[in-house]
Protein backbone atom coordinates (compact mmCIF):
# COMPACT_ATOMS: atom_id res chain seq x y z
CA UNK A 1 0.00 0.00 0.00
CA UNK A 2 1.37 3.43 -0.89
CA UNK A 3 1.49 6.47 1.37
CA UNK A 4 1.58 10.11 0.30
CA UNK A 5 3.53 12.75 2.21
CA UNK A 6 2.97 16.51 2.18
CA UNK A 7 6.21 18.50 1.97
CA UNK A 8 5.83 22.14 2.97
CA UNK A 9 8.03 25.24 3.29
CA UNK A 10 10.17 24.29 0.29
CA UNK A 11 12.54 26.80 -1.25
CA UNK A 12 10.86 28.21 -4.37
CA UNK A 13 13.80 27.13 -6.52
CA UNK A 14 13.50 23.46 -5.51
CA UNK A 15 12.77 21.25 -8.51
CA UNK A 16 10.85 17.97 -8.59
CA UNK A 17 14.15 16.16 -9.27
CA UNK A 18 15.68 17.69 -6.12
CA UNK A 19 12.72 16.57 -4.04
CA UNK A 20 12.84 13.06 -5.48
CA UNK A 21 16.57 12.82 -4.82
CA UNK A 22 16.12 13.99 -1.22
CA UNK A 23 13.44 11.38 -0.46
CA UNK A 24 14.67 8.45 -2.56
CA UNK A 25 17.22 7.44 0.08
CA UNK A 26 14.30 6.31 2.28
CA UNK A 27 12.73 3.93 -0.24
CA UNK A 28 11.08 3.50 -3.62
CA UNK A 29 9.09 6.51 -4.76
CA UNK A 30 5.90 6.02 -6.74
CA UNK A 31 5.22 9.71 -7.48
CA UNK A 32 6.80 13.07 -6.74
CA UNK A 33 5.46 16.54 -7.60
CA UNK A 34 5.99 20.18 -6.67
CA UNK A 35 2.85 22.27 -6.96
CA UNK A 36 3.18 25.31 -9.21
CA UNK A 37 1.07 28.34 -10.00
CA UNK A 38 -0.98 27.84 -13.18
CA UNK A 39 -0.26 31.26 -14.63
CA UNK A 40 3.36 31.90 -13.65
CA UNK A 41 4.53 28.25 -13.41
CA UNK A 42 6.38 29.29 -10.23
CA UNK A 43 6.59 26.89 -7.29
CA UNK A 44 4.06 27.44 -4.53
CA UNK A 45 6.57 26.14 -1.97
CA UNK A 46 5.04 22.73 -1.32
CA UNK A 47 4.78 19.33 -2.92
CA UNK A 48 3.91 15.68 -2.45
CA UNK A 49 5.94 12.48 -2.43
CA UNK A 50 4.23 9.09 -2.64
CA UNK A 51 6.17 6.08 -1.40
CA UNK A 52 5.44 2.52 -2.49
CA UNK A 53 5.85 1.24 1.11
CA UNK A 54 4.14 2.87 4.10
CA UNK A 55 7.13 2.20 6.38
CA UNK A 56 9.46 4.14 4.06
CA UNK A 57 7.13 7.14 4.14
CA UNK A 58 6.91 7.02 7.93
CA UNK A 59 10.69 6.86 8.23
CA UNK A 60 11.17 9.77 5.78
CA UNK A 61 8.63 11.92 7.64
CA UNK A 62 10.33 11.25 10.97
CA UNK A 63 13.81 12.03 9.62
CA UNK A 64 13.06 15.06 7.43
CA UNK A 65 10.36 16.92 9.37
CA UNK A 66 11.82 20.19 10.75
CA UNK A 67 15.09 19.53 8.88
CA UNK A 68 16.67 22.64 7.41
CA UNK A 69 17.13 22.50 3.64
CA UNK A 70 18.32 25.52 1.64
CA UNK A 71 17.79 27.73 4.69
CA UNK A 72 14.19 26.63 5.35
CA UNK A 73 12.77 24.15 7.87
CA UNK A 74 10.73 21.54 6.03
CA UNK A 75 7.29 20.43 7.11
CA UNK A 76 6.87 16.74 6.32
CA UNK A 77 3.70 14.93 7.30
CA UNK A 78 1.21 12.44 5.94
CA UNK A 79 -0.99 14.07 3.31
CA UNK A 80 -4.65 14.44 4.13
CA UNK A 81 -7.42 13.98 1.60
CA UNK A 82 -8.75 17.38 0.58
CA UNK A 83 -12.42 17.81 1.36
CA UNK A 84 -14.24 19.57 -1.42
CA UNK A 85 -17.16 21.73 -0.37
CA UNK A 86 -20.50 21.16 -1.99
CA UNK A 87 -21.16 23.52 -4.83
CA UNK A 88 -23.68 26.16 -3.99
CA UNK A 89 -25.82 28.26 -6.22
CA UNK A 90 -28.14 27.37 -9.00
CA UNK A 91 -27.79 24.03 -10.69
CA UNK A 92 -26.54 24.17 -14.23
CA UNK A 93 -29.02 23.30 -16.91
CA UNK A 94 -29.61 24.13 -20.53
CA UNK A 95 -31.40 27.30 -21.31
CA UNK A 96 -33.95 27.07 -24.04
CA UNK A 97 -35.95 29.69 -25.86
CA UNK A 98 -39.57 30.04 -24.79
CA UNK A 99 -42.08 28.31 -26.98
CA UNK A 100 -43.79 30.63 -29.50
CA UNK A 101 -47.37 31.58 -28.61
CA UNK A 102 -48.66 30.91 -32.08
CA UNK A 103 -47.27 29.67 -35.35
CA UNK A 104 -46.41 33.20 -36.58
CA UNK A 105 -44.80 34.62 -33.45
CA UNK A 106 -41.53 32.86 -34.20
CA UNK A 107 -41.07 35.25 -37.17
CA UNK A 108 -41.39 38.49 -35.24
CA UNK A 109 -40.63 39.95 -31.85
CA UNK A 110 -41.95 42.96 -30.04
CA UNK A 111 -38.76 44.81 -30.97
CA UNK A 112 -39.67 44.55 -34.67
CA UNK A 113 -43.16 46.02 -34.24
- Whether 26 is covered by a domain: the verdict is yes
- Whether 60 is covered by a domain: the verdict is yes
Average pLDDT of the chain to the nearest whole number: 86
Number of domains in the chain: 1
Give the per-residue pLDDT at 61: 97
Whole-prediction pTM value? 0.72
Give the per-residue pLDDT at 101: 62
* pLDDT over 60 at 110, yes or no: no
- Whether 45 is covered by a domain: the verdict is yes
Segments in the chain forming alpha helices (H): 16-24, 54-64
Domain boundaries, position 38: 3-78
Report the CATH number at residue 28: 3.30.70.330
**CA-CA distance, 96 to 74, in Å (whole number)?**
54
**Cβ pair 62, 34 in contact under 8 A:** no
**CA-CA distance, 20 to 93, in Å (whole number)?**
45
- Whether 67 is covered by a domain: the verdict is yes
- Whether 99 is covered by a domain: the verdict is no
Amino acid sequence: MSKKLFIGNLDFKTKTEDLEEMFSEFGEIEDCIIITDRETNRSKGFGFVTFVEDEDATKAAAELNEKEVKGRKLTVKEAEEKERPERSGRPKFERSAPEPEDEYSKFYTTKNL
